[in-house]
Amino acid sequence: MRAIRRFTVRTVLPAELAALGELVHNLRWSWHPETMDLFAEVDAALWEQIGHDPVALLGAVGHERLAELAADRRFQRRLADAADDLREYMTAPRWYQTLPDAARAIAYFSPEYGIAAALPQYSGGLGILAGDHLKAASDLGVPILAVGLLYRHGYFTQSLSPEGWQLEHYPSLDAGGLPLSQLKEADGTPVKVRVGLPAGRVLHAQVWVAQVGRVPLLLLDSDVAENDSAARDITDRLYGGGTDHRLMQELLLGVGGVRAIRAYCRITGHPDPEVFHTNEGHAGFLGVERIRELTEARLSFDEALEAVRAGTVFTTHTPVPAGIDRFPVDMIARHFGGDNAWPTVPVERILALGAEADPSRFNMAVMGMRLAQRVNGVSELHGEVSREMFKNLWPGFDLDEVPIGSITNGVHAPTWVGREFMELAGRELPSLLERARGWEGVQKISDAEIWHIRGTLRRRLVEGARERLRASWRDRGASPAELGWIDDVLDPEVLTIGFARRVPSYKRLTLMLRDAERLTELLLHPDKPVQIVIAGKAHPADEGGKKLIQQIVKFADRPEVRHRIVFLPDYDMALGQLLTQGCDVWLNNPLRPLEASGTSGMKSALNGGLNLSIRDGWWDEWYDGTNGWAIPTADGVSDPDRRDELEAAALYDLIEHEVSDRFYDRAGDGLPRRWMEMVKHTLTSLGPKVLAGRMLRDYVVDLYTPAARAARELSADHHAPARAFAAWRLKVTKGWPGVRVEHVEASGVGDTPEVGASLELRATVALGDLEPGDVRVEAAYGRVGPHDELLHPAYLALSADGVDDDGRAHYIGVVPLDRTGAFGYTVRVVPHHPLVAASAELGLVAVPEEPAGMTNGTLR
């Protein structure tokens, strides 16, 4: 029989242990080893049995043991110290509190969060990044208020069939058994947010709060009695269901999330956010909801749009159009029009926000960018790829000017770095893992000490892998009597390579199998053996990804190699920590440039691992030739099989002739001196860069603070600046067809220009209905390509030199001829206003219809 309802009965702690509940319900324990030690002391055997889940621990520990602890003075002192430490952590001023003019609060929206294995609300890199973002914000005192959904079944757990096929399982989660509290009104009534649906239906959601250190994380849950069965299932699974189901999840996240924030701030007194950060397009409807709020406060749609854009940051994580959520236009129209229309927000304006090249599709990323004044990718290379992907939103501008920047991802060291390394850093390099300086001190640590820690972490991985592999084979139907060979799987002294990530085709899980015979030789080399530990999940609907997993499992099942290569199912945060800490080398071989950033290699680097990777994502910008190995890419080879063949051969060669040689080249004392030289250089060169703290500082300085200033400026005096700015934008947009560069004259150089000379320009511009103050006239100049195209030009603002009676304006300027070789120039006009963040923001530019004057030449 099955239970008709599932819930968790929580223990009642003795008064002497009340602080234990306080510690359990703040997820700071997930990155604070001392608090974890305290939990382990409650019941060491039970702590291991329940997988280090403090809530489960308190639900399972016996009353007798609690009574013993309540009478144990030593435990009481440790508990009091831990509680005092948490309170000090929560209240003491930190880096952010020293900044002038910073945002009072930032709302951060993401569809998934990887905080801890005990709160399984993540599927992969996007969620892990979001979790590290919140933890770093907590450590630095950044006042983020986060929003997500609470999925009743989370993401799936993974096992394997006897044939090696991925099987998905969706265990039910009970919010009462998670480190959550319900948001309630002062009278104890649970808060419910409401989102209207077509045909008169209403979606209700309750709000749970996960306290992530200093950061409250609001999780919306549609499994409430007020909903019909379909609505209750909206938050059933992460990325589950069909298109309509996915749309309702995103409506709840964006629209319902803003409403949950308003309720939370009203009840708790938390400052209302000045900045809203949309982490990928899934939460894009938050901007529409904020427009609704302002239009109901008597602003027009255009005025509200400007106010919303000023304080919104949008981060894109996908390097391929296929990774973007796109919905049928008629589906969006049903949800925002007809009987579900918002009186102050015309559905046509909403549809225009998500309009793309295909008129039948509504693009969530495009809407996110149109609703945000500041947009970024997650690595320098990804920023370039994103500018290329979305350049049509800003026609007439060069790729370099497309207003999409980049902030490279980082990882939260206390979550991902092995405790031994953390303690070494704390002893030798105080606060090293919290700041981006002082890393040169790594060179002072002895090779022997680092090598010893590496051995400890590798041994822990081997032991954990054997346990997981044995459990996996039992799930596949093997009897214990058949599994004696697992006792010898992997060797704690052998070079260990890790590969763990989601399994879409572009990540090329099976590239290592391209030449199975060559791989086998590497695994079984008599003097320089290699062992590989692999993990990863394919999306439940991705049959191709599941086939890749089956291929790798079948190879790893072969008796001759199964002690050297293993696939560990159910990749989650706990397994990710085990792998990134224990592996000597982290392998990443995606199709370049399809890896937006990737962060698992960063985690490995902080644990003394070395990266062996295609130059994609973060590795493209931070590989320096000696902090790991770059797998050569066969860029330009159009045949995918040939490209895989070439890159796989390069991978085998690197492992055999460079990686293995260096690992097994031992000095008289048994230490691999050349290997340790690379490890230390990796820690010194990458350590300051890969930290989530560095990433958060970049977001605060480059995006959050400017967005807060802009939001304040437009909202001042009852949004009078927003009204004025919207009116200016409308005037410029309507008047732009009348703007023309009519004539350009050049003088000051002879027939053979020489470097160091100056080019004097005079341009005549027709402004139509606009004023000189509405525009900026610029000279664009620099190197030219074979078709006279300017390559990465420089820009010089020309000075106004009078306006004729007929409205034609004249501009002058001097262009320096500061480089030799092919040189060219042109003149352009762009809109100009103090509240415009980038020249391309309005997507308007006027250039000469035909080249005027000398457009290019050669400088000597």
What's the token pair of residue 121?
């609300």
Question: Mind listing the pLDDT tens digit for each residue in 533-553?
Answer: 999 999 998 999 999 999 999
Question: Mind listing the pLDDT tens digit for each residue in 601-626?
Answer: 999 999 999 999 999 999 999 999 99
Average pLDDT of 104-122? 95
Q: Which residues have a Cβ under 8 Å from the Cβ of 247 and sit 6 or more positions away?
A: 327, 331, 332, 335
What's the token pair of residue 62?
């016996």
DSSP 270-338: PPPPSEEEEESGGGTHHHHHHHHHHHHTT--HHHHHHHHHHTEEEE---SSGGGS-EEEHHHHHHHHSG
Q: Which residues have a Cβ under 8 Å from the Cβ of 753 and sit 6 or more positions away?
A: 759, 817, 823, 857, 858, 859, 860
pLDDT the model gives residue 819: 82
pLDDT the model gives residue 426: 67
- Angle between helix 692-699 and 125-140 (nearest 10): 80
What angle (nearest 5°) sits at the alpha carbon of residue 133, between those of residues 252 and 223? 25
- What is the dihedral sign for C-alpha 144, 148, 153, 159? negative
Confidence of residue 2 (pLDDT cuts 50, 70, 90): low
pLDDT the model gives residue 748: 77
- Give the distance between the most distant pair of CA atoms in the chain: 98
Question: Mind listing the pLDDT tens digit for each residue in 789-845?
Answer: 899 999 999 999 988 888 899 999 999 888 888 888 999 999 999 999 999 999 999
Closest to 377 measured CA to CA, from 325, 313, 307, 309: 313
Q: Which residue has the higher pLDDT, 154 or 9?
A: 154
Asked if residues 119 and 27 have their Cβ atoms less than 8 Å apart, the reply is: yes
DSSP 731-781: HHHHHGGG-EEEEEEEES--SS--TT-EEEEEEEEE-TT--GGGEEEEEEE
Give the number of C-alpha atoms closer than 13 A to the C-alpha of residue 187, restricted to the C-beta side.
1
Asked if residues 386 and 404 have their Cβ atoms less than 8 Å apart, the reply is: yes
What's the token pair of residue 695?
């990433």
What distance in Å separates the CA atoms of residue 595 and residue 599, rounded to the nearest whole number?
Answer: 10
Taking 60 as the threshold, does the pLDDT of residue 431 lie above it? no
Q: Which residues have a Cβ under 8 Å from the Cβ of 809 and sit 6 or more positions away?
A: 764, 765, 766, 767, 772, 777, 800, 802, 803
- Angle between helix 301-310 and 705-735 (nearest 10): 140
Residues across the chain = 860
Average pLDDT of 253-267? 98
Confidence of residue 755 (pLDDT cuts 50, 70, 90): confident
Q: Of all residues in the chain, what percent are helix, strand and coil, respectively (each to 5)?
A: 45, 20, 35
Question: Mind listing the pLDDT tens digit for each residue in 19-67?
Answer: 999 999 999 999 999 999 999 999 999 999 988 999 999 989 988 999 9
Taking 70 as the threshold, does the pLDDT of residue 766 lie above it? yes
Confidence of residue 853 (pLDDT cuts 50, 70, 90): very low
